[in-house]
Amino acid sequence: MESLSATSKRERQTRLLNPWMIVLVALFVVALLALSYKSEDVFLPSDDSPPDAVAISYTELLIKAHPEDDQLRLRLIDQLIQVGDFKRAREYLEQLQGRLLAVTPFYAAMLDILRAQADPEGIGEERRAQLIEALRTLQIADMDNGKLERIARYALEIGGLDVAVTSYRALAERDTARRTHWLGEAALWSLANNDQSGAAQLYLQLAAEEPDARKRAEHLREAFNALRAADHSEQAAELLVQHLGELDAEQESLDWLAEGVDAAQAAQRFDLADLFIQRWLSLKADDHRALNADFRLSLASGAIDRAWQIGPELLAQTPDDFELMAELARLAEWTGHTQQALNYWVQMLAHREDPAMRERVWRYALQLFDFDQVVSTLSAIDRQRQMTDQEVDTLVYSHEVRGTPEDAESWLRAYLQRYPNHLFARKRLRMLLENTQQLDKEAELWASMAERTSLTTKDRIRWARVHWNLFQAERAWTVLTAMDAAAVDDPEYWQLRADLGSDADGE
C-alpha cells in the first residue's frame, strides 16, 4: 500500500513541470535577453562625446574581433584624430589602402593639415598651397555633412576660402533645416575671398527664400553692396529699381537710395539716378542729402541750368558751406550769372583770407567794371604785404575811373609810408599828380624821387617841364644841368635846354 501511495505522489510532482511549462519559461528568458541586449557598441562613445582611452581600446578590440569591418577602422581613425594621436591614425588609415576610396582621401588630407598645424615652425606658403589643393580635389558628393563641415573648418584655418565656400554651398543644398545658415556662411566667405559676384548671388538666394520682410531687405542690401564691390554698379542700381516700392522713410531706406544714386551715376545711368532721387524726395521732401544728390546729378549729367536752380536753395539750408558756395560761384560764371558769382567769391573771401581768392575777386570785379569792389579788395592787401606793381596800378586806375583820384592820392601816400622803397608806387603817384595837374606836388615828388634813386634823362626832362609850367625856369634849368651834358644825346633834352636858354635871354 505504501508503495502504491509513493508512486502516485511522484506522478503528481512530475505533472507540475510538464513540457509546456518548460517551453514557456524558455521563451520568456529568450525574450528578456533580447530586450536587454544592446550590442557591442554599448561601450563606444556617442558622436557628440569626445573619446577617451577606454573607448579607443574598446574600438581596437572590436576591430580585432571583426577585422573585415572598415567602418570600425574609420571610427577609430576619427577617435585618434580627436585625441591628437595622428601617428596611429595614419597607421590605421594605411590599412585601408585600396578600400573606401571615397573617404580615405578626406582623412589623408585632414591628417596632413593637422600635422602641418602642429609643426612649431608653422606652415610655409608652398606647403599651404599643397594642402589647399588637396582639399580642392576631394569629391564633395562623397562626403557626408559632418565631413563637409570639417572640410570647411580646416579650409578656413589654412586660407582655402574657396574650398570653404564650396562646402557651405553643398551643405545648403543638403541640410534644408539649416539652409539659411549655410548660405549665409557661403556668402560671408565669398566676400572674404573677394568673390563679390558670388556673394551677391548668394544674398539674392537668401532674400528670395526669406519670409521676414526686414531680413529680406537686409539680404537685398547685402547683395546690392556686393555688386557694387564687384564693380557691377549698373546691376546694383537695377536691383534697387526692382525694390523701390518696398522702401520707406526710415533712415536705412534713405541711405540705400543715396547709395543707389552713387551706383547709378558710376554706371552713367542718370535715368536711374533721377528715379532714385525722386523716390527719395517723395519719402522725405526736406532731406538735405536728397537735394544735394539732385544738385550733384544735375552737374554730372550736364543739366547746368537745373543745377543753378537747385544750388541757391541748397545753400540756403547750409549757408556756412563754403565749398558749396565755391561750386555755386563757378556755376554762376558758367551760366552767365556773373554778378552772383562775384557776390559768392566776396562772401568766401570775407569768411577766410586766401591770397589766390583775393586775386580772383579783384580780377573778376575788374572784368565786370565793378571798380568799387576792385578798390575794396585791393586796398586791404598792403596791410599784409607790399603790393605788386600791377596791383598798385589797378587800384589807382579804379579810383581814377570811378572819379575819386583824391582817394587814390591819399592811399598812395599812406602806402608809401609803409613801403617807401616801392619805386613804382612813387611813379604812379607822380602820374596821378600829373593827370590831376597838381604841379607843385608833382615837383616836390620829383625832388623826393631824385633823393632815392637815379633819374633817367626822360625823368629829368619831365621834371624840368613841371618847373617850366610853373614858370620856374631857373629850377628847370637846374634840373637839366645837374646831368653830365656830354653824356646826353637825347634831342628832346637839348631842345628843352635851348628853350630854357631862350627864355632866360628874353628876360
What cell does 95 get? 590599412
pLDDT of residue 484: 74
On the question of pLDDT at 25 being above 90, the answer is no
pLDDT of residue 99: 66
Q: List helix spans (H) across 83-178.
A: 86-94, 104-118, 125-136, 145-158, 161-174
pLDDT of residue 33: 38
User: How far apart, in whole angstroms, are the C-alpha atoms of residue 107 and residue 217?
Assistant: 41
Percent of the chain beyond pLDDT 70? 81
Residue 39's pLDDT band, with cuts at 50, 70 and 90, is very low
* 308 closest CA partner among 289, 327, 282, 283: 327
Ranked by mean pLDDT, which of 56-60, 96-100, 303-307, 373-377 comes out on top? 373-377
* 261 closest CA partner among 239, 226, 292, 293: 293
Residue 416's pLDDT band, with cuts at 50, 70 and 90, is very high
Residue with cell 609803409: 418
Neighbouring C-beta atoms of residue 201, cutoff 10 Å: 17
pLDDT of residue 400: 96
pLDDT of residue 87: 75
pLDDT of residue 64: 64
Q: By the 8 A CB rule, do 243 and 211 touch?
A: no
On the question of pLDDT at 1 being above 50, the answer is no
Residue 111's pLDDT band, with cuts at 50, 70 and 90, is confident
**221 vs 464, higher pLDDT:** 221
On the question of pLDDT at 70 being above 60, the answer is no
Chain length of the chain:
507
Express each pLDDT in 115-166 by its tens digit. Answer: 888 888 889 999 999 999 999 999 999 899 999 999 999 999 999 999 999 9
On the question of pLDDT at 328 being above 90, the answer is yes
Domain layout of the chain by residue ranges: 195-303, 450-507
The pTM for the full model equals 0.66
Express each pLDDT in 456-468 by its tens digit. Answer: 778 788 888 888 8
In the predicted model, what is the mean pLDDT of residues 226-252? Answer: 95
Least confident interval from 169-183, 415-429, 479-493: 479-493
Distance of CA 222 to the CA centre of its chain: 17
pLDDT of residue 52: 56
Angle at 47 between CA 41 and CA 51, to 5 degrees: 75
Neighbouring C-beta atoms of residue 89, cutoff 10 Å: 22
In the predicted model, what is the mean pLDDT of residues 33-55? Answer: 51
On the question of pLDDT at 8 being above 60, the answer is no
In the predicted model, what is the mean pLDDT of residues 208-223? Answer: 95
Angle at 406 between CA 403 and CA 412, to 5 degrees: 115
In the predicted model, what is the mean pLDDT of residues 386-395? Answer: 97
Residue 104's pLDDT band, with cuts at 50, 70 and 90, is confident
Least confident interval from 119-133, 239-253, 413-427, 475-489: 475-489
Q: Give the mean pLDDT of the chain.
A: 85
Sign, Cα dihedral of 204, 208, 211, 214: positive
Residue 48's pLDDT band, with cuts at 50, 70 and 90, is low
Distance of CA 130 to the CA centre of its chain: 36
**79 vs 240, higher pLDDT:** 240
On the question of pLDDT at 302 being above 70, the answer is yes
On the question of pLDDT at 403 being above 90, the answer is yes
**492 vs 407, higher pLDDT:** 407
Residue type, 171: L
User: How far apart, in whole angstroms, are the C-alpha atoms of residue 238 and residue 228?
Assistant: 11
Q: Class assignment of domain 195-303?
A: mainly alpha
On the question of pLDDT at 226 being above 90, the answer is yes
pLDDT of residue 4: 42
* 41 closest CA partner among 58, 54, 53, 57: 58
Q: Which residues have a Cβ under 8 Å from the Cβ of 425 and sit 6 or more positions away?
A: 387, 392, 412, 415, 416, 419
**410 vs 76, higher pLDDT:** 410
On the question of pLDDT at 51 being above 90, the answer is no
On the question of pLDDT at 183 being above 50, the answer is yes
Residue type, 16: L
Backbone angles phi, psi at 352, to 5 degrees: -150, 125
DSSP state letter for 139: -
On the question of pLDDT at 506 being above 50, the answer is no
On the question of pLDDT at 83 being above 90, the answer is no
Residue 259's pLDDT band, with cuts at 50, 70 and 90, is very high
